Structure 1
């Protein structure tokens, strides 16, 4: 956490006939509730009816087992379904209320302890996404069977049961079916208690074309021929789990697999791509034993698949369905014609993230969406830890600091929210999947692990998993387990960082050498991107774990207490606070202290160089210090620095180059700085990937080509011209790991003829990843006339159902106002091509790069007309970012210009 019988309401009777004709069973009334309880119902979980938890359903009944039968009709984009739910009524009631969305109920009956069947009067509430079943009499507590026959829709965006269209390598048109249920979309597949606390066992059967592969969480248990080219597949019973983890897939698939630590590990993809799945299989095979060992609880299911979907979403890239992870193929398959080193590393890291969820999220699940971060923050942290352990050469420690910066970029605005947040509506749930939940969650866990010690932290995690497996938890359950393992006072620190929003600011108020040690005084405040004066007057308070060291010296730790904290650091010399970059806070140095760090920059570890750069650029942009000292740090990056540090510096200069787009003379000066510092680096690396080179160099090259190309470096522009000419003759001329890099550069500076060439190639592209890259490139043009053509193209059928939204997003990178205006003018098209779970954030994201004050008014009008108060958060965050950028733009330009003129050669 990334689809020729009609089953419509007017053919309700034909729905039942279809079940009979295809061999799918209509629920039988003969089995007693007592019998079901004996052979199918697990013991209730202790926390499954917890009245203190939020809920959108009345706490009157608890489901224990769903026996689901579906008959999908992929061509008609409809399906028929039946479900038998074994449940307990725990509070006398005459009505049962379940979640249901876009489902039509054909019949609803209830069998009770008295041996009678009752027929329900059905009321659907589309806004609440519920179905109410009124049985006309009060039913006492006890065990019941609820039978429902229903019909549903197969969508073309990733919500519920959905279809993805694609082409085989030989050009044959295909359609695959998949499901996406997180957060609240299992209700589009089966009427259910679709909340995480209502864990149950799921038995799934499906009547499907006999020549296609059907997939679910568990292996196939039985498969029987039912005639007419169909077969009925029944999967093994799932473990007790939350509804959003259920999965179903169907299509012309192939599977490669391997036995790993007693588990059948597989990669599933469309036919003809098995070679592309081998890298993902190798990755999963390495990750699973590591997780078995780290968590101290072996993976409990017999198989673990990762299923490739040929599409994309504006909401997610992969989903941790238990035993049946779903991942869009562009981040699962390794296609040598287009996959880069970054793509391959992403395949590994996304797999690590989703596999971590098999324990943190699936085996142990948050009780309510308030604690979503328990799933996502932990999986993000585990993803990074796994990468750092199994692939230390990739520099995952620096990537962890990058994730922290992404979180602080959002967390420093007044529109932020705590990690543990209040969720009460479907829309709030969808919006909870953001950088605070993922990246701040990851960063805070990294800090707490550092505070507790790696061994104590791991022991606490293992105890937590063992104590709560197959159950639901809240955040404090994790803190209690880690404290019990030996992390004294961890809960107090954890509460401050998870229950209140914002970013601490640690100011190094003084630093004096005394008897071979350095005495420092730290003053604590709060860092803000849009309320600096307000938080200076009344900052929030945290107990912040701090690690500090002189350069090359021993690291010491302390936890801040109150407004000031004193530390004694061994050695004399420049002091680095947040050594190792585990802390979630900004550090502000006095000018002489920062100058000393700049002079000794080459002596810092790469992770500290990276963290120091990011801290000081953020402090300069927000006005806590001038731009000059921060740019001195960027200028201090040595030519032989870690490639990720070099890339961070390159990003700063590139941002300044774009900032002075309306001042050609200053922009030319910045361009000269970029070329003087980075052309030699590209010259050393070369324009092509070399056998045996370091992975970090391979990752740096695309950024160098893109940025130096924007400054018109002759070697890059000449290669662009050569490749474009070759591409016009040979569609495979760009094939290889730099394909998307050169496509982006070609498209960015394209004229009408170039753009037409790219469109022609996009139309002929076969594989989804290549097709998506080519159409996305069309939107990346700087020319507003061509960008407008890309927007018009996005809402046609040409790109495909899931690519159009990505084209509009691509336009927003260079023409944000154009993209926003287009989206606001075409609401029906946006509704059609963007997942309904992502629409408000999608529109807000289009505008995020705008420097036009009028954009704020447009966003306000959009929110007022289309969004409730609970759905405004993405728009409010974008407005805050634009406002702050506009307010500080002139100051930044003036200070940066002054430095550039004084330092440009």
Structure 2
């Protein structure tokens, strides 16, 4: 699954029946237990025969299921998952025995189960359970749901499914857990003029004579319930053949040309994955299905053979799509296609090992993008991904990559920065430690042995360790079973005989617990002096000595593959800073990131980052400048509510970025690299946020000129310019944007315009946007995004408004997103009163075991308050010294 918002909270599962979880064990311990289940053991499915008849306008469906079961222990009841389903009947069939109807069907709404009771106890054996039932079609992206959109023929409705993590039970009575793999044969009755899409190719279509047809799909391979997929609507499809697989893209009618980029790029991706994994993609077809609207929970979903993606993350609209959009689409494709192996072919046994899906898909996404599109220079992005993980992992509210999970809500909260970005960063570190060839050899062996099965993390470590001949498991356990960020303190180097010798000491980096006793990790470290070969060392037991060729400044974490922060002594840092311009761009990013974070935590002077930013040459890598712009923008935002101090900081930040903006220009140059196009948009957005009068004036000029001059707002900058204009809008400009949104028929453009209405710095206009969000005008799936957009400038206003209109907002937010959606609205606040508000919300509306996001939001608010109190004054003092 590709998340729409990159941040969440991670999990691992403890069985309700008391099964121990690997995450609960001490690091280094290998735990092998039965698969976790929340259902009684003794009954398991092997095949589902499903017939679904949706009524899109009535928002309901009727269905029949015939489930092939094995009863391994005698029982008088069968319990399976069912959520908001209504049963008309249940009959058990067995060869040579009379049919037996269930004598009672008991529903448990809290547990989301149905228990079927039979008058005669069931002996061990094979049965078919025939069920006749019905359910509802939802308006948010869970279970079977509908999405409405405008077309040239008027309003239309399409149906889709979203089952991860635990929502297959909303359409199918089933064993809705990843370890209960089975095959699925699906047929669906739909309007004759519409297309139905499933995991497998359609094998037949029968007209029923009443304006409907029944479409049958081929039987799937053995897979988990959350990967089943169905879509119905007025669609179009284009295809290409690659390595014997039919690749397809599916869109609403009229949007197919916008999916051409995805179809073209997915061909090379499929070839690359077939080669890397050493196991060919096993299904006959692989579709990417684009859907209008959006979710606050996810952007795309890896259903086997039928990847679901919201349009904004898959389609290239020539009116608004940027180079950054195209790269984002590519990375979404890579992520979801990688899941066809890591997640679909081989599936984690329980949600505690969700990172085996998401961390690996994130890593493969980055690795493959770097390999197939080196011109984008995306390998530098590894630092940004690691920083996202650090942001969560250095807080008191962090958790291990693998941690116990006991409930559906906890499983939903597992889709967070730790699962995705920390998982990716740890994999990258381990691959660097064992070598790329040994790593791939281990992954291939893992795929071959566990195809169509379920695994835990140790299954992978065994294969990699066998291939590499190195103690991978012990290091992997340290980083996956223990939370937190290691801190490597670098002692002053002593140079003798052409070698620099220094001591490395391992501690722990924490943003909000400076006195925390450090954990212990075995940390692979790579260090080098300029122009010399890097040297590897393993910091174990808290300390290591290392000798590095050369006598220049020693850079620790060279290449930035390590998952740790690096803290130099003042003398060592001065030496690294003096040679900063000569570092590789990825190391410049790493040094900038560590210096800023350590400064904000009080472990290093805050001025060190500002001095680096001031000394960075204009010809530094575009992504290095993008990082500087992002941090300056973040610091500026932390002065919110202090206009005089904020203006002084903005003057410095604008003076630093404006020359680069002048060099980059508003108009692309012939044959400029794609990375420059991305930097241009980043600079305009940052300077607009900083209040640069020149950028704001030019954005307004171009916005006003667009009617008579199409070149005034080229597609590459249209959204960026609108963002600057909307952010600084007055009432008349807001009304102009509103009128444009009302008249716009293209969903991608329309959605963006409604977002912009919610992006104003002006509190009165932000309030108008909040009120608009709860009307029918923007569309149900746009409303939560608008409220979230208001929170970018006005977190307190957005949170208070959402709570004051809780039923209306809940109706517009995916049910599996609510526990995170509301706390995150407040996460950007620096008001101490907000802490009590978030805690009160959590106490009143969330179960005790589903408050991870609320706790993280409170931790972020506390950290922001501390930062403003303790760190901003040191920045003020530096500004006073340097701007005299």
Q: Give 1:345's aligned residue.
A: 327
- The correspondence for 1:467, drawn from 449, 458, 472, is 449
Q: Give 1:131's aligned residue.
A: 114
What is the CA–CA distance in structure 2 between the aligned matches of 1:904 and 1:552, rounded to whole Å? 36
| Range with bigger deviation, 806-815 or 694-703 | 694-703
What is the CA–CA distance in structure 1 between the aligned matches of 2:642 and 2:820, rounded to whole Å? 33
- Residues 1:274 and 2:242 aligned together: no
Secondary structure of 1:692 counterpart: coil
Q: Give 2:84's aligned residue.
A: 102
- The correspondence for 1:229, drawn from 207, 211, 236, is 211
What is the CA–CA distance in structure 2 between the aligned matches of 1:212 and 1:781, rounded to whole Å? 41
- Residues 1:400 and 2:379 aligned together: no
TM-superposed CA distance for 1:721, in Å, is 2.3
What is the CA–CA distance in structure 2 between the aligned matches of 1:865 and 1:729, rounded to whole Å? 54
Q: Give 1:218's aligned residue.
A: 200
What is the CA–CA distance in structure 2 between the aligned matches of 1:131 and 1:424, rounded to whole Å? 19
- Residues 1:187 and 2:187 aligned together: no
What is the CA–CA distance in structure 1 between the aligned matches of 2:640 and 2:854, rounded to whole Å? 27
- Residues 1:376 and 2:358 aligned together: yes
Q: Give 2:515's aligned residue.
A: 533
TM-superposed CA distance for 1:672, in Å, is 3.1
Q: Give 2:144's aligned residue.
A: 161
**Does the Cα contact within 8 Å between 1:341 and 1:695 map onto a contact in 2?**
yes
- The correspondence for 1:322, drawn from 280, 304, 310, is 304
Q: Give 1:258's aligned residue.
A: 240
For residues 583-622 of structure 1, what are the structure 2 equivalents within 5 Å? Answer: 583-622=562-601
**Does the Cα contact within 8 Å between 1:731 and 1:761 map onto a contact in 2?**
no
Q: Which runs of 5+ in 2 are unaligned?
A: 3-31
**Does the Cα contact within 8 Å between 1:595 and 1:629 map onto a contact in 2?**
no
Alignment: residue pair count: 854
| Range with bigger deviation, 294-303 or 757-766 | 757-766
- Residues 1:902 and 2:881 aligned together: yes
Q: Give 2:313's aligned residue.
A: 331
Q: Please give the TM-score of this superposition, normalised by the length of structure 1.
A: 0.93
What is the CA–CA distance in structure 2 between the aligned matches of 1:706 and 1:409, rounded to whole Å? 23
From the superposition, tell whether residues 225 and 730 of structure 1 become closer, same or farther in structure 2 (CA, over 3 Å). farther
- The correspondence for 2:428, drawn from 433, 439, 446, is 446
> Cα deviation per residue 1:384-424 (whole Å; 9 max; x = unaligned)?
00000001121221111101000010001111110011111
Q: Give 2:813's aligned residue.
A: 834
TM-superposed CA distance for 1:138, in Å, is 1.2
Q: Give 1:122's aligned residue.
A: 105
What is the CA–CA distance in structure 2 between the aligned matches of 1:309 and 1:690, rounded to whole Å? 35
What is the CA–CA distance in structure 1 between the aligned matches of 2:712 and 2:38, rounded to whole Å? 55
**Does the Cα contact within 8 Å between 1:639 and 1:677 map onto a contact in 2?**
no
- The correspondence for 2:408, drawn from 422, 426, 446, is 426
- The correspondence for 2:837, drawn from 849, 858, 877, is 858
- The correspondence for 1:760, drawn from 739, 753, 757, is 739
What is the CA–CA distance in structure 2 between the aligned matches of 1:714 and 1:868, rounded to whole Å? 48
What is the CA–CA distance in structure 1 between the aligned matches of 2:474 and 2:268, rounded to whole Å? 36
Q: Give 2:220's aligned residue.
A: 238
**Does the Cα contact within 8 Å between 1:161 and 1:188 map onto a contact in 2?**
yes
TM-superposed CA distance for 1:714, in Å, is 4.4
| Range with bigger deviation, 424-433 or 390-399 | 390-399
Q: Give 1:37's aligned residue.
A: none
Secondary structure of 1:485 counterpart: helix
Q: Give 2:728's aligned residue.
A: 749
| Range with bigger deviation, 124-133 or 726-735 | 726-735
What is the CA–CA distance in structure 2 between the aligned matches of 1:784 and 1:673, rounded to whole Å? 26
TM-superposed CA distance for 1:258, in Å, is 0.5
What is the CA–CA distance in structure 1 between the aligned matches of 2:709 and 2:171, rounded to whole Å? 45
**Does the Cα contact within 8 Å between 2:492 and 2:572 map onto a contact in 1?**
no
| Range with bigger deviation, 624-633 or 831-840 | 624-633
Q: Give 2:861's aligned residue.
A: 882
- Residues 1:313 and 2:299 aligned together: no
TM-superposed CA distance for 1:722, in Å, is 1.6
From the superposition, tell whether residues 502 and 831 of structure 1 become closer, same or farther in structure 2 (CA, over 3 Å). same
Secondary structure of 2:379 counterpart: helix
Q: Give 2:773's aligned residue.
A: 794
**Does the Cα contact within 8 Å between 2:581 and 2:616 map onto a contact in 1?**
yes
What is the CA–CA distance in structure 2 between the aligned matches of 1:351 and 1:152, rounded to whole Å? 32
| Range with bigger deviation, 633-642 or 149-158 | 633-642
- Residues 1:706 and 2:688 aligned together: no
TM-superposed CA distance for 1:213, in Å, is 0.7
From the superposition, tell whether residues 506 and 237 of structure 1 become closer, same or farther in structure 2 (CA, over 3 Å). same
Supply the RMSD in Å over aligned alpha carbons.
1.5
> Cα deviation per residue 1:2-40 (whole Å; 9 max; x = unaligned)?
6xxxxxxxxxxxxxxxxxxxxxxxxxxxxxxxxxxxxxx
Q: Please give the TM-score of this superposition, normalised by the length of structure 2.
A: 0.95
